[in-house]
Chain A
Amino acid sequence: MTSYISLPMYSANIDERMRLIAGKCVSCGQLAFPQRPVCTKCGGDQFEDTLLSGDGSLYTYSVVAGNGAPSEFDDEQTMTGDVLCGVVELKEGPRVMVRLADMEPEELEIGMKVRAVIRRLYDQEGIVRYGTKFVPA
């Protein structure tokens, strides 16, 4: 299959994906993560880079059954079966939809503490795509 998220598109927000850099709204201080062009609170469009801690808690989650994930995850699903994903509420406030790792489906619980790590997401066009996954804190 061809790429759905091209390398240029992927690399354009690599600071967010790999380094957890959020945008802090210059007018109201609200954090935007993932970064976005317009502040959801005040409508401002000027942001300063702010490093997030990577600590957070699980806001919601799902165990997506084999062959349910997008096709770029096929290799992994062949090996692991289910894909664990969820929304993490970061300590600093923003929520983000992420991959979960190093945990069994039955361990998942709303409110559990998690932290960010860099992991392989998948490879495509011969290039490994790394990104952030969340593991138990």
Chain B
Amino acid sequence: MVDVAVIGVGQTRYGMFPERTLKDLFHEAAINALNDVDKGLDPAAVEEAFIGTLSTGGAQLGNFAPLMMEAAGMVGASARHIENACASSGFAMRDAVAAIASGRARIAVAGGIEKMSDLPREKNRLWLGISGDVEWERLAGTNFAGIYAMMARRHMHEYGTKKKHITMAAVKNRNNALANPKAQFRAPLEIDRAMKTPNLASPLSFSDACGITDGASMVILCRADMAKEFTDQPVLVVGSGGASNYVAIHDRKSMTTLEGTKRAVQQAYEMAGISADDIDFAEVHDCFAIAELLAYEDLGFCKKGTAGKYIESGATARDGKRPVNNSGGLIAKGHPIGSTGTGQIYEVVNQLRGRADTAERQLKNVRYGLTQNVGGSGAAVAVHILKAAA
């Protein structure tokens, strides 16, 4: 297998941009990524492209990737749309890595985009509800908040986790986003106020959820042995894992473990030749705050059932031993569905290169960064481990 390096990353600001088009957003992410390639890259040199999106309201389901590549100014590349719900671009990343590792391509891009703001509320609820096992989960009258809420309820029941522990993840991420100029929600949140926000799907309250977001991101990858032609600071993709699981939570043995995460991270650790102890920081899929707690356990950051105590210890805070979602995560940085996976890579690459947009949130002495991107309630999970090149 050929070693793979990231040589440029780009991302739009996340937020609600009613005045902007899909093409415009993707163009910005692409230009941002091209400009990030220090020694320059001819867009025509991109051979393979993998573009993640859920739907954007169904308006452009066909030939989505060629259209986005047009907007990126990268016409000609072998391009395709990757869909795995909220994990679409985590899997786009995985496929771009594979395209280079296999020797088929020298330069590939992974990208992602979603524009959720242009849809009427009921259409958004339609699109947000189609990634479960629709025939059963949907007819139970629940949305993803309800599904994650049921997982949270089990975690509280089985391990004595408190609602406060769950909300602590949301509060941490909201406050982390204050220093991230590309984050959607940049208003401080205190635990007491967060605990009092209205019920969303019990035990989750409004503060525990992500919102409706527009945004796009792109990652440019190449063979590691040619990376120095493009930058003196390449970042190596040392681990990649992917897995799937039963879509409906009622079909899983446990509702407090995402087997997909465990399986994907195991592959990534093995490929990198490291263990959870080596991970210095991570961006995990906190679509709802409970998901971050489950990720701590499933990624091996703490023992099963102890995520509540783990977050309480401060280990995952910006100044903790292993910062998690220093960007603000999905809850505060934003969750433009198809963009989330490559948006996480954007964050980790910048941290590893010492290029965080503000000094305040630049992590010190970090070597290995991990991303975990989840589709639905765990039906598909992509994990990547990146490392700054020596």
* A interface residue numbers (CB < 8 A to B): 1, 4-5, 9, 13, 17, 34, 36, 40, 59-65, 67-71, 73-74, 82-83, 85-87, 94-99, 105, 110, 121, 131
Contact = CB atoms under 8 A, between A and B. Distances in A.
Given A62-B149, A87-B255, A110-B154, 20 more contacts: A1-B123, A4-B138, A5-B138, A5-B139, A34-B136, A59-B154, A60-B150, A62-B153, A63-B199, A68-B145, A69-B146, A71-B125, A74-B122, A83-B141, A85-B140, A86-B140, A97-B142, A98-B140, A99-B139, A110-B153
Contacts of A9: 135
17 contacts: A1-B123, A4-B126, A5-B138, A13-B135, A40-B246, A40-B251, A60-B150, A62-B145, A62-B149, A62-B204, A63-B201, A63-B202, A64-B200, A65-B201, A68-B201, A85-B141, A95-B250
A65 B199 contact: yes
Contacts of B141: 64, 69-70, 73, 83, 85, 99, 121
Contacts of B204: 62
Contacts of B122: 1, 71, 74
Contacts of B200: 64-65, 68
Interface residues of B, number: 39
Contacts of B137: 97
Contacts of A4: 126, 129-130, 134, 138
B170 to A, nearest CB: 16
A74 B123 CA distance: 12
B181 interface: no
The 3 A-B residue pairs whose C-beta atoms are closest, nearest first, are A62-B149, A71-B122, A60-B150
Q: Which one of B134, B143, B203 has the greatest number of beta carbons of chain A within 10 Å? A: B143
A62 B248 contact: no
B160 to A, nearest CB: 13
Q: Which one of B125, B137, B246 has the greatest number of beta carbons of chain A within 10 Å? A: B125
Q: Which one of B140, B147, B246 has the greatest number of beta carbons of chain A within 10 Å? A: B140
Contacts of A68: 143, 145-146, 200-201
Nearest to A105: B202
A62 B140 CA distance: 11
Contact of A64 (B126, B134, B145, B151): B145
A48 B134 CA distance: 24
Nearest to B121: A67
A4 to B, nearest CB: 6
Nearest to B200: A65
Contact of A70 (B125, B153, B203): B125
A131 B139 contact: yes
B198 interface: yes
Interface string B148-163: 0111011001000000
B249 A87 contact: yes
